[in-house]
Amino acid sequence: MTRFPLLLGAMLATMLSALADSPAPIDRRALVSRHNPVIRRLDVDAPLSVGNGGFAFTADITGLQTFAELYHRSGIPTETLARWAWHTEANPNHYSLQDAMRPYTTFGRTVDYPTNASGAAGEWLRRNPHDVPLAQIGLELVKDDGTALAPGDVQAPVQTLDLWSGVIQSSYQLAGVPVRIGTACHPDLDLIAVRIESDLIASGRLRVRLAFPRGYDRSIKNTPPLDWSRPELHQTTIVQQGAHRVDLARTIDDTRYHVAIAWAGEASVDETEPHHFRLIAGQGQRVLAFSVAFAPEALPAALPGVDETLAASARHWEKFWRSGAAVDFSGSRDPRAGQLEERIILSQYLTAIQLGGDVPSQESGLTCSTWYGKFHTEMIWWHLAHFALWGHDDHVARALGWFQTHLPEAREIARQRGLRGARWPKMIGPEGRESPGGNPLIVWNQPHPVYLCELLYRNSPTPETLTRYRDLVFETADGLASMLHFDEKRGAYVLGPPLWISQEIYDPATSQNPLFELAYWRYALEIAQQWRERLGLTRSAEWDHVLSHLAPLPVKDGRYVALESHPDTFDNVDSRHDHPTMLAPLGVLPGDGVDRATMERTLAAVLQSWDWETKIWGWDYPMIAMTATRLGHPDIALEILLRDGPNNRYLPNGHCPQRSDESAPRSSAPDARKREIAVYLPANGAFLSAVALMVAGWDGCPESNPGFPKDGSWTIRSEGLHPLP
């Protein structure tokens, strides 16, 4: 009996000791909130956005879109976009994809690909359908001199995006009078809620204007201006008007959507000219609280008010930050720790508000329009993989739902090209039709669905996951296998031609056996075989034959090269720009069939001789960092990940603009839009995937935090991160 208290005491002592040794949970709210963007001047490169994944509203320094023309001309546009809003121009000539076909003859057969983008048919097919900007919402100030509200009128601005609640708080002075505005997005409705407090509201001098453009100027592909011309070619109709709400119906050709403007207290909405409306608070009211909702169908009679939307936004974002993964670098002595942590938080926010919808997003998300609003399926990995790694599988599942829905279209493309299974289009709108140009010859988009399904299975290894995605995995894999040609002389399967490799600089008509694509084929087919085994099926004999006879990764002079048919990567200076994806097989991929010593030499050659100035993209830096991490070079990984490069500069709002050619850095020149891509979310998504690898490692990784030096300068706490394969 006397031994029991002694044993109990020893057990309690052991438990207390274990508790003392275990790290305290990360203070999620403190981690997130210390990176709230705070803007203290009118900065055209720092508009802030709120959104719910499929809808977003971007605000200037006033908290609305008051100076939209200035921001578009010189910086990042302030727009209102939804992934359901599309428009198609009239097609009196009945153009179809057949009008853009061009024949390619290889391996004794001729196949048509829609690569002809020139001419009226190609241009129409590439341009349609295209995304539609929904509305522009800004402030008007009645001034003594009768002039319009100007940027110089905004004095002492302080604007904060509260990431924990998803609310933009803007305060400043107009005509010496304080103004305070809160702006939020509803998490489940395409609705923004705004609360304005000011004596200027009470006096009737400060008002809200709402305007509806016809669309974009479609003569410009990337970041086009809003089109305010030809008001007679679209309609904005008042459907219903009451004491606290006005309902509008918008019509642009065959495109239709609905808008509801609702407010609390006394206010009125007047149409000032076609497609332009003014919201004015009742006399003596110093608070104007209103919401604007958008939908493709008529909106419900009851909509949440401003207070309800603010509360819903706060609940949503607290759940988001608490349910996903977190990394805290508090206590680190490396001066880059704060910068790295900030990029993590802001990239999580930006990708969540813009890449989580039912229709996969364009590369500029819901901030502005690029490539006519169409999405590039080769970017899906950069857009989605990090969500699974950071514990937000629902974002991946929604986007994969689009692929599942459009399996019939992918099967038909495969059939037309003499393939089996599914052949995924590259540049597409919501209907899944390919866009003509060089795009249809890109193939590194093909294995992405298999990789993403595998990430979801790793997080939830259940029969339900296997059943849900089996068709997507198997039909994609069948398409991969049938795209290969068995070269009898070599006794090996070869890939291409025609194809346009991920390093987009080689002639598609002669390109064969690109290194990254070969490695990705091997990985995806092996994963598909594992899915068969998990489902109790036998391995596919054909896929196994491919795996055992796939052409080797191309090597020259002891280094991997981008392409077997043009092995000049390190011989020709003109071949050392664009994406150095010869590194991706050991980084993005786990390195099956990769010789580490050869990859070491390849990494060294890229670091020494690549063109880092004229054209390297925002996702290239994280990709290289992933390879350096897997090779055991954390110093290189960190340096590359945070390197100050032309397309690796992150703005105060977390965005990473891209300079798309050798032109000068950002300027206010009228043609600046032609030279730059204002925001580029593949950079943010790739960054988050790289950090996941650098912290959580990969299957069989022998150490913790493999992407960080072990010199005592880094203090790293992480929760919930998933390792990569």
How far apart are the C-alpha atoms of 652 and 238, rounded to whole Å? Answer: 39
**Half-sphere exposure at residue 209, Cβ-oriented, CA atoms within 13 angstroms:** 21
Q: pTM for the complete prediction?
A: 0.94
Q: Is 564 exposed, middle or buried (0-12, 13-18, 19+ CB in 10 A)?
A: buried
At residue 357, the pLDDT reads 81
- pLDDT (0 to 100) of residue 289: 98
Give the pLDDT of residue 18: 42
CB 511 within 8 A of CB 498: yes
3-state SS of the chain: helix, strand, coil percent to 5?
A: 35, 20, 45
Per-residue pLDDT, 195: 98
Ramachandran class of 678: left when φ > 0, alpha when ψ lies in -120 to 50, beta otherwise: alpha
> Please, what sign has the CA dihedral across residues 63, 65, 70, 72?
positive
Q: What is the 3-state secondary structure (H, E, C) of 685-708?
A: HHHHHHHHHHHHCECCCCCCCCCC
Domains of the chain: 39-87+130-303 (2.70.98.50), 97-126 (no CATH)
Between CA 488 and CA 209 the distance in angstroms is: 69
Query: What is the C-alpha to C-alpha distance for residues 527 and 522, in angstroms, rounded to an integer?
Result: 9
Answer whether 456's CB lies under 8 Å from 388's CB: yes
Of 610, 611, 616, residue with least CA distance to 660? 616
CB atoms within 10 A of CB 481: 21
User: 280: number of CA atoms within 13 Å, CB side?
Assistant: 15
User: Minimal CA–CA distance to 565: which of 480, 611, 609, 500?
Assistant: 500
User: Amino acid letter at 139?
Assistant: L
Cβ-in-10-Å burial (0-12, 13-18, 19+) of 285 comes to middle
Report how far Cα 459 is from the mean position of its chain's Cα atoms.
21
134, 112 in Cβ contact below 8 A? no
Q: Helices in 376-491 by DSSP H: which ranges?
A: 380-389, 393-405, 407-416, 448-459, 463-483
Are residues 717 and 328 in contact, defined by beta-carbon separation less than 8 angstroms?
yes
Is there a contact between 360 and 427 (Cβ–Cβ < 8 Å)? Answer: no
Tokens standing for residue 168:
């933009």
Number of Cβ within 10 Å of residue 544's Cβ equals: 13
DSSP secondary structure, 175-230, as one string: TTEEEEEEEEE-SSSSEEEEEEE-HHHHTT-EEEEEE--SEE-TT-SSSPPEE---
383-394 residue pLDDT tens: 999 999 999 999
- Tokens representing 185 are 């997005």
**What is the DSSP code (8-state) at residue 575?**
G
CA 441 from centre of chain: 23
Question: What integer pLDDT is reported at residue 218 of this predicted model?
Answer: 86
CB 87 within 8 A of CB 252: yes
The torsion angles phi and psi of 632, rounded to 5 degrees, stand at 85, 30
Low-confidence ranges of the chain (pLDDT < 70): 1-22, 438, 660-675
